Amino acid sequence: MTSVYDTIVLKNLKLGLLISFQIPSIISHIFIIYHLIFNRNLRRALHNHVILILLIINFLFITTDLSITFHFLRFGFIEKNQRNLCLAWNFLDLFLSNLSTFLMMWASIERNILVFYDRQLLNTKYKRFFFHYLPLIILIIYTFIFYIIVIFFNSSCSNIEYFIYDELFCGKPCYVHKDIILSSIDYLFHKICSSILIFLFSFILLLRFLWGKRQRNQIIRWRHHRKITIQFISISILYFIGTLPVAISELLHIWKNLKNNIKESEIQEEFFLYFFYFISLILPFVCLLNLPEIYSKIPLFIYFKRQLNIRSMKRRNQIAIMTTTIPR
């Protein structure tokens, strides 16, 4: 068991780390979102649409949900008279984090469509709506309605009765404790199955990408799709690592807790529950590394690129002078 002093030190350490990542992450989010919206070529590219929505959701997550977490880490509790804040905190965390995972799950499926079946499934406006826009709309509406109902309009239990004000998120929502069907759907299907599908379709995309490079008649086509493939695989690895271990540990704890009132382990309570925050804070940097159309506009990048060009020109000039002065 950790002492009170160790708990305070851990909370201050997490608070400092999260704040240090949040500020540059917010700047990166705004920078990328701005260019994805106002750059016509980037905006019209279908493979950027889900990334844009994912970044907007992620931006809301690290500015709203994470801000409440900062308040909790600073004071160590949420005031008992702020029950509505606990409800909002539960909703924001579950809705935004799970919607991000759903979007990544669909993106992993859609990347395979964009790379392999775009000429068959995305060649008309009707097909683009059905196979590209409609799934995004359905996922957003479904996630919003599901968590609105289980958090605010759950007739089987009251969240306020189960709030623990000195725990992250004021503890888990009451359906996690009282409704095994809802909690299993949430963790097993929403989190674990989504993470497995992200890995599965990303693995299929990678295998087909490597196989396609070996086919001589597909070299030009694969050069065109290489960027979006590398971009997506790097993001999907980030999500897979950040969601699956946490979801499995949480689901096992819920099932064990049916018979015995077992408290979460210190690893879950002190580390796993914060893991998705760090994934969300890192996300824009991973996206930026795979968007040369955007990072090439960063002033610091332009400066270093100019310096590298100047150095390379000097080296070429020196080599040219040496070759002309060497006697034959």
* Model confidence pLDDT, tens digit, residues 24-47: 999 999 999 999 999 998 899 888
Q: Residue 89 has what pLDDT?
A: 94
Q: What CA–CA distance (Å, rounded) separates 17 from 11?
A: 10
Quote the distance between the C-alpha of residue 172 and its chain's center: 21
Mean pLDDT of 260-279: 69
pLDDT of amino acid 172: 83
Work out the average pLDDT over 180-198. Answer: 90
**C-beta of residue 87 within 8 angstroms of C-beta of residue 151:** yes
The mean per-residue pLDDT over the stretch 44-51 comes to 90
Q: What torsion do the CA atoms of 106, 45, 52, 104 make, to the nearest 10 degrees?
A: 20
- Residue bearing tokens 């049916």: 258
Contact in structure between 46 and 119 (CB atoms under 8 Å): no
Residues 6+ away with beta carbon under 8 Å from 8:
76
Query: pLDDT at residue 303 above 80?
Result: no
Question: Reduced to 3 states, what is the DSSP secondary structure of residue 166?
Answer: coil
Lowest mean pLDDT among 42-56, 68-82, 209-223, 270-284: 209-223
User: What local confidence, expressed as pLDDT, does residue 213 receive?
Assistant: 63
How confident is the model at residue 142, as a pLDDT?
A: 97
| DSSP code, position 153 | S
The C-alpha atoms of residue 173 and residue 184 are separated, in whole angstroms, by: 13
Q: Helix (H, G, I), strand (E, B), or coil: what is residue 82?
A: coil
Residue-wise pLDDT for 96-147, tens only, equals: 999 999 999 999 999 888 888 888 888 899 999 999 999 999 999 999 999 9
Q: Tens of pLDDT along 137-186?
A: 999 999 999 999 999 988 888 888 888 888 889 988 888 878 888 888 89
CB 280 within 8 A of CB 243: no
Segment 219-256, tens digit of pLDDT: 545 555 666 677 778 888 888 888 888 888 888 877 77
